[in-house]
Amino acid sequence: MIQGNIDKAIADYTNASTIKPEVPEYYNNRGLAYYNSGQIDIALVDFNSALSRNPNYPAAYYNRGVAYFK
């Protein structure tokens, strides 16, 4: 993935989460973008944010586990 695309993805997910902050997918997906850019600590914050919005969101648990493992 090209870094410029990751930055754009982060910006888009940030905008989406500003419009509809209750949607956990925005935080999970932004967390993946941060993870893929090597920003693991910020990714963990987003995975936790996704889980605070939906504690039954398995993808966020999986992604958080992968980030912790890294």
List of domains in the chain: 3-69 (1.25.40.10)
Whole-number Cα distances in Å, 61 to 6, 13, 51, 52, 67:
22, 19, 8, 11, 10
With a threshold of 0.85, does the pTM exceed it? yes
Q: Are 62 and 32 in contact (CB under 8 A)?
A: no
Place of tokens 């090597």: 38
Kindly state the DSSP code that residue 1 receives in the 8-state scheme: -
Convert the pLDDT of each residue in 5-49 to its tens digit. 999 999 999 999 999 999 999 999 999 999 999 999 999 999 999
